[in-house]
Structure 1
């Protein structure tokens, strides 16, 4: 992996602070899903709450992507983390005034979903300007890896904290995790944009330009197609691990911690594998990226066939590895294809696909599980996804030409 990004002092400071904040965000999402099961004992409600925490990305994500390309990005990042802090503190304080209910959990999930949908395009546009142009590919690779590690290690930390101190105290800790970024972005030095934002351009026109750019690039479309297919089932399962811990094995926070830690261990292993490999080439997802896209739904099928918590934990670790390696590869491939002018808009669309796919997957898994059972749902949806993914890989020109 190209590590030239670490020569940039602003990037080093940013990476340390954003790592803490990102882990806190993913801890929050695990706590929300745990609370959803705690107040309902319903797979459908758990899936619905997981959907709410990601669904705003489908609607507001592209709009925030336009903003990322045209406003002062430091102010945007600062405001975003202030909003995260206030939302978390407000929910925690409300739990001392009244009982936690399904409504309050759903509202909190939706609120962090909306703020999170802004965080992704803001963060990607911001990080890309923390070094010179020669360091850009390194910055992209490291920030993408950092995000995907936190996506699974964060919930692993959350599972441990749930066991040791409970959900409300865990949320207090996550709110503290936003403070380093709030203090950092006020004074950090960033590279000027390599284009002049068209401030006179209508907001919707700028959004349309992002869609048009995406549609005209076959490789970007290929990445988007694979991403939505794989994340629906892979991320959908990982966002609903409490359903497995409690709904399948009738276990508590300790076993949930085992599953989340297993997913986190897989993510860390994937990060080492990605770092040890060759730097990613523009215009390619590579052989391992293709393999992991098929491995994700296969792991979901195997989870559906497992009746042992330890075996399931091993399979979840494999799923954590495959989803992290796949997502890191897809996100890096998309970023390397873009210039500063369209980065915020197009990457917000990728985030919409990646996060929205996980949201829809969680909703489907929860709803169908209520009807046919949890394990049968994993087997059926995993099988369908394996077939579709294989067809995309076999019959699309970007893969055939590599």
Structure 2
């Protein structure tokens, strides 16, 4: 089987698994929203998915660079299956506080496994391309497929919750992790002999990767982390935002998250078509995405008809998707291969770690002052950060590494 066909198979397996995952996350979010009506619980749910990156993405990068991406990829997918299965059994065996606790524990386990899976997958992609020039478009195609999963998964989850209950949605989430496991173990034959691993010792540390990646990438990571602190709270508050801006039903939540995903797909397609040009201009790419996201938050703060809020959700989805995918792309194509596992870990720390903290902070502001005030305040800060990035580094160019 040629590498081109293997790339497609791996992409499809990952996409189907992503759709199931978002169906499950939507079901969990609705159960928690229906049971507590507390935005802080919803923010905690997303934080337990994203904040493990602060603790585990660094070690995941070190392990990936030291022991090989394929081995870590398979281990992490079994971890995802275990975490998803815990969520599936939580609904029939528990209720009330215990049920919420098990669902949050399931999400935490998935968050830990995801830190390893995303890190290993980024480096694994380089072993499925024939030429270095193919890596950028292939990496960005995962962003498109990921966001297609975000588009179709939430409506599936919403409809399953409405007509069959949340158990089936969570069972779907768990079962879809079997597909990428089977794909990697039995179907794919990557160019493992081309992988470059780090040596043991201080050269294999996360700090060595930070020092060795170069000033432009360190600046890009710093901006991404700062911006995500104020601009990446919508995943955690999506059920509450949908409730306030669109309506209270599971279908309304599915619609809201699907509009976010539609914006993400659009942004991802733009990035995929211009991946080489944009990856060479990190300040321009990340600053523009940050500005777009912040303007979308200000649009929600203005308020209006639900369709206006959905339009602003589309803008936010496009901005954040390209910011996250763009940062990952820059870290992979702009560094040596023996650093790429750790660089994927640093990128995750920047956007998912910052996003988890952002969700908790936004939930606190929302509880005190309301959703509109929260979006307006954080959106205004985001505009300042993005404008400063464009002003200082918009003309900077990055040399790509083959």
Calculate the TM-score normalised by the size of structure 2.
0.88
Tell me the equivalent position of 1:243. Answer: 240
Unmatched tracts of structure 1, length 5 or more: 1-5
Tell me the equivalent position of 2:316. Answer: 319
* Cα distance, 1:54 vs structure 2: 0.7
- Indicate how the Cα distance of structure 1 residues 150 and 91 shifts in structure 2: closer, same or farther if over 3 A, else same: closer
- Indicate how the Cα distance of structure 1 residues 120 and 242 shifts in structure 2: closer, same or farther if over 3 A, else same: same
CA contact (8 A) 1:92 1:171 kept: yes
Q: How far does the alpha carbon of each residue in 1:267-286 deviate from its partner, in whole angstroms, 9 at most, with x for none? A: 22223333444743553138
- Indicate how the Cα distance of structure 1 residues 177 and 280 shifts in structure 2: closer, same or farther if over 3 A, else same: farther
Tell me the equivalent position of 2:130. Answer: 132
Provide the C-alpha distance between the structure 2 equivalents of 1:100 and 1:275, rounded to a whole number of angstroms: 44
Return the match for 1:109 from 107, 110, 119: 107
Tell me the equivalent position of 1:27. Answer: 23
Alpha-carbon RMSD: 2.5
Calculate the TM-score normalised by the size of structure 1.
0.88
* Cα distance, 1:67 vs structure 2: 0.9
- 1:51 and 2:55 correspond: no
Provide the C-alpha distance between the structure 2 equivalents of 1:383 and 1:316, rounded to a whole number of angstroms: 16
* 2:128 counterpart SS class: coil
- Indicate how the Cα distance of structure 1 residues 145 and 261 shifts in structure 2: closer, same or farther if over 3 A, else same: closer
Provide the C-alpha distance between the structure 2 equivalents of 1:369 and 1:15, rounded to a whole number of angstroms: 38
Provide the C-alpha distance between the structure 2 equivalents of 1:62 and 1:152, rounded to a whole number of angstroms: 30
Provide the C-alpha distance between the structure 1 equivalents of 2:96 and 2:126, rounded to a whole number of angstroms: 40
- 1:78 and 2:74 correspond: yes
Tell me the equivalent position of 1:17. Answer: 13
- Indicate how the Cα distance of structure 1 residues 290 and 389 shifts in structure 2: closer, same or farther if over 3 A, else same: closer
CA contact (8 A) 1:61 1:121 kept: yes
Residues 269-308 of structure 1: pairs in structure 2 closer than 5 A: 269-277=266-274, 279-285=276-282, 290-308=287-305
Provide the C-alpha distance between the structure 1 equivalents of 2:183 and 2:363, rounded to a whole number of angstroms: 39
Tell me the equivalent position of 1:399. Answer: 394
- 1:39 and 2:35 correspond: yes
* Cα distance, 1:336 vs structure 2: 1.2
CA contact (8 A) 1:23 1:153 kept: yes
CA contact (8 A) 1:153 1:268 kept: no
- Indicate how the Cα distance of structure 1 residues 287 and 55 shifts in structure 2: closer, same or farther if over 3 A, else same: closer
Residues 212-227 of structure 1: pairs in structure 2 closer than 5 A: 212-214=211-213, 217-227=214-224
* 2:229 counterpart SS class: helix
Residues 147-158 of structure 1: pairs in structure 2 closer than 5 A: 147-151=146-150, 154-155=153-154, 157-158=156-157
- Indicate how the Cα distance of structure 1 residues 328 and 276 shifts in structure 2: closer, same or farther if over 3 A, else same: same
Aligned length: 392
CA contact (8 A) 1:230 1:385 kept: yes
Tell me the equivalent position of 1:369. Answer: 366
CA contact (8 A) 2:267 2:322 kept: yes
- Indicate how the Cα distance of structure 1 residues 162 and 288 shifts in structure 2: closer, same or farther if over 3 A, else same: farther
- Indicate how the Cα distance of structure 1 residues 132 and 248 shifts in structure 2: closer, same or farther if over 3 A, else same: closer
Q: How far does the alpha carbon of each residue in 1:236-257 deviate from its partner, in whole angstroms, 9 at most, with x for none? A: 1233111122245652212112
* Cα distance, 1:46 vs structure 2: 1.4
* 2:212 counterpart SS class: helix
CA contact (8 A) 1:264 1:320 kept: yes
Q: How far does the alpha carbon of each residue in 1:212-254 deviate from its partner, in whole angstroms, 9 at most, with x for none? A: 224xx12112221332233334431233111122245652212
Tell me the equivalent position of 1:3. Answer: none
Unmatched tracts of structure 2, length 5 or more: 398-402
- Indicate how the Cα distance of structure 1 residues 115 and 278 shifts in structure 2: closer, same or farther if over 3 A, else same: closer
Q: Which moved more, 1:233-242 or 1:352-361?
A: 233-242
Provide the C-alpha distance between the structure 1 equivalents of 2:197 and 2:271, rounded to a whole number of angstroms: 34
Provide the C-alpha distance between the structure 1 equivalents of 2:159 and 2:276, rounded to a whole number of angstroms: 34
* Cα distance, 1:144 vs structure 2: 4.1
- Indicate how the Cα distance of structure 1 residues 319 and 156 shifts in structure 2: closer, same or farther if over 3 A, else same: farther
CA contact (8 A) 1:280 1:333 kept: no
Provide the C-alpha distance between the structure 2 equivalents of 1:313 and 1:377, rounded to a whole number of angstroms: 17
* Cα distance, 1:30 vs structure 2: 3.1
Provide the C-alpha distance between the structure 2 equivalents of 1:309 and 1:291, rounded to a whole number of angstroms: 26
* Cα distance, 1:264 vs structure 2: 1.9
